[in-house]
């Protein structure tokens, strides 16, 4: 399994990562264990979760129990910031809440440290300096190795990096944002900032919630138990006429080369070294094997140009 560093950090991660958002929600503990075991057996060393995944804590709890001694060889990433209670008091990026959230995550994950601790979304109520000072304190204490962010705008990332540099704090090393063949908005403003600052980009929804796997067909009922079938919001967001048209063209592009649209989705994201790993969720060991096999296609310049014509 090829590995890349996340930005300018020392974290080396497999180019295919495992997203743990299904654990404790779409799949139970036994199924989650099979997925994690398969990922480790295939050489995946990067697992990404969040405190909110799995009905607020379930994903972290599963990982804490499953990993055991394997924890030492895993680059483990989690996030804070989304609501963890109905009252709305356990959320955000204040120092008070970060200190509470990290201890809860460490306990659920059964570990002494988090390799990558990410702010899940912006907190307009908290100055970025306060957030960064809290994260820096955790880095100095050895509870967090590196900090990252997710869903921040280009301007917010720039402010965070400049604030950290000015104050001598541990800054964000990466951004986790939606990026796929069907969602390329980050290329306009955010991606240039990430590259200029020596950061990494971790795409989420790299397979457009499954639309780029080939398992969904226009005019055919959604597969029972699939993400689209269970989440109407995802279906409304991704199952558009524009996306069906693009996917049909991408499928034809891949098939002409004896490939699949799944292979195209992974390999296209990995064309750029700013992407250290493509984090994809899985509900079965078979999906793990498919994801890993999909990452080995090196696209030629003329192929990339044709993809641009199709997707932009």
Bridge partners, 147 (sequence order): 117, 172
Please count the other Cβ atoms lying within 10 Å of the Cβ belonging to residue 224: 7
Measured at the CA of 176, the angle between CA 173 and CA 179, to 5 degrees, comes to 130
Q: Which of 53, 62, 97, 179 is catalytic?
A: 53
53 carries an active-site annotation = yes
Are the C-beta atoms of 268 and 299 separated by less than 8 Å? Answer: yes
As given in the structure block, the two tokens for residue 281 are 């969720």
- Describe the crossing of helices 53-67 and 95-109 by its angle, rounded to 10 degrees: 50
**Beta-sheet strand order (sheet of 172-178):** 200-204, 172-178, 144-150, 114-119, 75-80, 46-48, 16-19, 278-281
**Three-class DSSP labels, 15-56:** CEEEECCCECCCECHHHHHHHHHHHHHCCCCEEECCCCHHHH
Active site residues: 53
């Amino acid at each position: 399994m090829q590995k890349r560093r996340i930005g300018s950090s020392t974290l080396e991660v497999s180019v295919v990562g495992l997203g743990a958002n299904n654990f404790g929600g779409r799949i139970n503990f036994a199924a989650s264990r099979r997925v994690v075991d398969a990922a480790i057996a295939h050489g995946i060393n990067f697992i990404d979760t969040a405190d909110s995944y799995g009905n607020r804590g379930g994903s972290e709890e599963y990982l804490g129990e499953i990993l055991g001694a394997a924890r030492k060889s895993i680059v483990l990433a989690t996030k804070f910031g989304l609501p963890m209670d109905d009252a709305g008091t356990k959320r955000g990026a204040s120092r008070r809440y970060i200190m509470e959230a990290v201890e809860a995550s460490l306990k659920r994950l059964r570990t002494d440290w988090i390799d990558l601790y990410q702010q899940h979304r912006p907190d307009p109520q908290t100055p970025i300096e306060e957030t960064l000072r809290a994260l820096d304190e955790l880095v100095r204490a050895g509870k967090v190795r590196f900090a990252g962010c997710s869903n921040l705008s280009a301007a917010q990332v720039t402010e965070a990096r400049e604030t950290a540099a000015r104050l001598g704090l541990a800054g964000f090393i990466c951004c986790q944002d939606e990026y796929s063949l069907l969602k390329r908005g980050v290329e306009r403003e955010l991606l240039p900032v990430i590259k200029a600052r020596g950061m990494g980009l971790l795409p989420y929804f790299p397979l457009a919630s499954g639309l780029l796997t080939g398992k969904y067909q226009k005019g055919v009922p959604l597969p029972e138990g699939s993400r689209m079938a269970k989440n109407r919001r995802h279906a409304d967001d991704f199952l558009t006429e524009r996306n069906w048209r693009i996917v049909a063209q991408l499928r034809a592009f891949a098939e002409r080369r004896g490939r699949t649209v799944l292979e195209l989705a992974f390999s296209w994201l990995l064309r750029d070294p700013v992407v250290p790993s493509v984090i994809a969720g899985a509900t079965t060991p078979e999906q793990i094997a498919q994801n890993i096999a999909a990452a080995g296609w090196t696209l030629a310049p003329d192929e990339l140009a044709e993809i641009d014509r199709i997707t932009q």
